[in-house]
Amino acid sequence: MSTKPKVSVYKLSSCAGCQLEFLNLEPVLLDLVGAIEFSYFPMARRRYEPGPYDIGFVEGAVTCGEEIERLKKARQECRVLVALGSCACYGGLPSIKNWTPERVIVSRVYENPALVHSIKAYGIDEYVQVDAYLKGCPVNKDELVEFIKGTLLGIRPRLRPHSVCVECKLNEYECISVIKREPCMGPVTTAGCGALCPSRGKACDGCRGPANDANAESLARTFSEYGLHRSDIVRRFRKFAGLTQEFSRGADAV
């Protein structure tokens, strides 16, 4: 038996893109595997070892009763429970359905709605206590590694709490908002992605959820000045983290 910290990776309602980031860590994956043991990681390993685990990563939003049960079991068997990605943090993309009646949504997608027992999509902290949040759609690899290192050392990992703009400026990307008057969510979105979208000339979509002092109302007013229709502003603030207090203020601002 190895004495390496045991890690588990769970999947709820999600696209598996965040788990995939573990595998995309290829250049450091071997070092990582040297430091930790993936004891439960169905997407990557056929063999499971039973809990308890030292760190559990939960990917995905909770969208049905069965997932609540699995989540509660995960909480019980993990010392540290981490919300992996924006779905687990805030409900993420699945949460865009929350503003339409469940019946309507289900019948839009499934042929036989009677077989589906879905509920409103929530982040995992609606049901269990969460020790850490790794934001992003998908999570950022460097942040993931930073978090694992910090946890192994027993120190607080440095996860940037402020706006995407800071990283955008540090890298000197052209400002999508000021220069192109496009509705960039960067000023109210948590950094940590290295301002990925502005680096490609695209407005930030807000995938990492609200920054620590997000002033979404004010940004919504600016979007409106840029000529964005009210319904588009609402959609921007509800895309990944519409359930959060901060972004719901943005959606309601104009």
Partner 1 sequence: MAVTKSSPVPDMVVLSGELWQGFLELVTGQYRVIGPVRRGSEHVFAPIKNPREIDMAYVTTILPPKKVFHQPFQVLFSFDTEEGTLAEAQSGEEKVVWGIHPCDMHAIAILDKVYGVEYPDPYYLRNRENTIIVAKNCTEVGENCFCLSMGTGPALRSGCDLLLTDLGGRYLVEVGTEKGRKLLSGLELVPAPRVVLVEKEKRLSQARQKFKKRMVTQGIQELLEENFRHPIWEELMRECLACGSCTMVCPTCFCYNVVDKIDLDLKTGRRQREWDSCMLLEYAQVALGQNFRRDRDARIKQRMYHKLLYYEPQFGTLGCVGCGRCIGACVKRIDITDVVSRLAESVESDR
Q: Is 185 in the site for partner 1 (CB under 8 A)?
A: no
186 in contact with partner 1 (CB under 8 A): yes
Of the ranges 31-39, 69-77, 204-212, 225-233, which one interacts with ligand SF4 (CB under 6 A)? 204-212
By a kind-dependent CB cut-off of 5 to 8 A, residue 111 interacts, out of ligand SF4, partner 1, none, with none
159 binds partner 1 (CB under 8 A): no
The answer to whether 195 contacts ligand SF4 (rule: CB under 6 A) is yes
- Residues between 216 and 235 that touch partner 1 (CB under 8 A): 217-219, 222
Confirm or reject binding of residue 216 to ligand SF4 (CB under 6 A).
Answer: no
> Could you say whether residue 252 binds partner 1 (CB under 8 A)?
no
Instruction: Indicate the residue among 32 and 62 with the shorter CB distance to partner 1.
Output: 32
Q: Does 24 bind partner 1 (CB under 8 A)?
A: no
Binding ligand SF4 by CB under 6 A: which of 62, 71, 89, 184? 184
d(CA 20, CA 95): 21
CB of 180 to partner 1, least distance (A): 9
CA–CA distance, 11 with 203 (Å, rounded to integer): 29
Give the DSSP letter string of the chain. Answer: ---SPEEEEEE-BS-SHHHHHHHTTHHHHHHHHHH-EEEE-TTT-S----S-EEEEEEESBEEEHHHHHHHHHHHHHEEEEEEESHHHHH-TGGGGGGGS-HHHHHHHH-S-GGG--EEEEE-GGGTS--SEEE-BTTB-HHHHHHHHHHHHHTS------SBHHHHHHHTTPPPHHHHH-----GGGBB--S-SHHHHTT-----TT-B-TT--HHHHHHHHHHTT--HHHHHHHHHSS-TTSHHHHHHHH--
Question: Which is nearer to ligand SF4, 128 or 137 (by Cβ)?
Answer: 137
Under the criterion CB under 8 A, does residue 179 sit at the interface with partner 1?
A: yes
The smaller minimum CB distance to partner 1, of residues 116 and 254, is found at 254
Instruction: Select the residue interacting with partner 1 from 64, 116, 175, 254 (CB under 8 A).
Output: 175
**Contact present, 44 and 24 (Cβ < 8 Å):** no
* Smallest separation (angstroms) from partner 1 to the CB of 222: 6
| Binders of partner 1 in range 137-156 (CB under 8 A) | 145, 149, 152-153
Residue 140 tokens read as 């950022």
By CB under 6 A, name the binding residues for ligand SF4: 164-165, 168-169, 173, 175-177, 184, 186-187, 189, 193, 195-198, 204-208
